[in-house]
């Protein structure tokens, strides 16, 4: 196992939902490298086992739990399994989610319901059923993975609405859980390179997008994992209810073009 830079998560128990995907796998691996016992949760058991294999290869400790975040009984079962195995839950990362690209007029109602049930509903269910265990233990940390698309006008209405719901619920849930010493925060990744979007971002479409990012690069899964780990560490003990973009500055930058950026409105007033 690679040398652990710090023991900040030694003996902590961390649930990562959607841990079979690229971002969830990276988050899970980062926790394992820093000493946490990682609950690798995913609706796809084969994908979860792949993540566990990566953790095992580095000498980490993990447990695969198949769970469907759309289903309350499945989420309750996940919580019970973790408590039975390790006795507590210190950290929850609500990473599970799905997406689609349909416009309003093309969006099927069943797809709208599905996106809301998984993306927003999954955060609700996992938070609802994990929080009582954290309250019993005297505190904990919860981080939700929303999206830049929930903050600005970009992407499909269904996906944007679901991620926006996560953002909207963050401060009120943080206020509710704060007295129980549970920190509750949300991050909003922009364009993070994964297997699902790599071809698109390496095409001409990606060339257009990257010019809209002040840092002039796409994010990577490690960028996401590092922010998640920070927010669940003692270094972030006084941060709760925060909604943090992880987008290279894209969400606060409107590119009006080179001509606008270089135009000098005062040149005709000089001399």
Supply φ then ψ for residue 86, to 5 degrees. Answer: -125, -5
Supply φ then ψ for residue 118, to 5 degrees. Answer: -80, -55
Burial class (CB in 10 A: 0-12, 13-18, 19+), 218: buried
Torsion of CA 162, 163, 169, 170, to 10 degrees: 160
Tell me how far apart the alpha carbons of residues 222 and 102 are, in angstroms, rounded to a whole number. Answer: 29
DSSP lists the bridge partners of residue 39 as: 15, 63
How many CB atoms neighbour CB 135 within 10 A? Answer: 15
Helix axes 121-137 and 72-86, enclosed angle (nearest 10) = 30
Residue 159 is among the residues annotated as catalytic for this protein: yes
Burial class (CB in 10 A: 0-12, 13-18, 19+), 150: buried
Extract the tokens encoding 84: 């039975």
Residue whose C-alpha is closest to residue 189's, from 235, 155, 223 = 223
Active-site residue among 31, 129, 159, 184?
A: 159
Let me know: does 185 contact 239? Beta carbons within 8 Å.
yes
Residues tagged active-site: 159
């Amino acid at each position: 196992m690679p040398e652990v830079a710090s023991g900040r998560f030694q003996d902590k128990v961390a649930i990562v939902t959607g841990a079979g995907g690229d971002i969830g796998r990276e988050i899970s691996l980062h926790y394992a490298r820093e000493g946490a016992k990682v609950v690798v949760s995913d609706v796809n058991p084969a994908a979860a086992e792949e993540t566990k294999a990566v953790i095992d290869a580095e000498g980490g400790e993990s447990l695969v739990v198949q769970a469907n975040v759309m289903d309350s009984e499945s989420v309750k079962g996940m919580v019970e399994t973790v408590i039975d195995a390790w006795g507590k839950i210190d950290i929850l990362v609500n990473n599970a989610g799905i997406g689609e690209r349909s416009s309003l007029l093309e969006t099927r109602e069943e797809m709208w319901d599905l996106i809301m049930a998984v993306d927003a509903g999954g955060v609700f269910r996992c938070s609802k059923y994990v929080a009582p265990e954290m309250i019993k233990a005297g505190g904990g940390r919860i981080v939700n993975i929303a999206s830049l698309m929930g903050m600005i006008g970009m992407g499909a209405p269904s996906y944007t609405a679901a991620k926006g719901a996560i953002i909207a619920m963050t401060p009120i849930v943080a206020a509710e859980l704060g007295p129980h010493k549970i920190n509750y925060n949300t991050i909003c990744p922009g364009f993070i390179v994964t297997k699902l979007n790599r071809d698109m971002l390496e095409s001409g479409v990606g060339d257009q997008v990257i010019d809209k990012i002040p840092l002039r690069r796409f994010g990577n899964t490690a960028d996401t994992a590092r922010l998640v780990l920070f927010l669940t560490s003692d270094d972030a003990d006084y941060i709760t209810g925060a909604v943090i973009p992880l987008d290279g500055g894209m969400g606060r930058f409107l590119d009006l073009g080179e001509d606008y950026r270089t135009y000098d409105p005062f040149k005709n007033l000089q001399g």
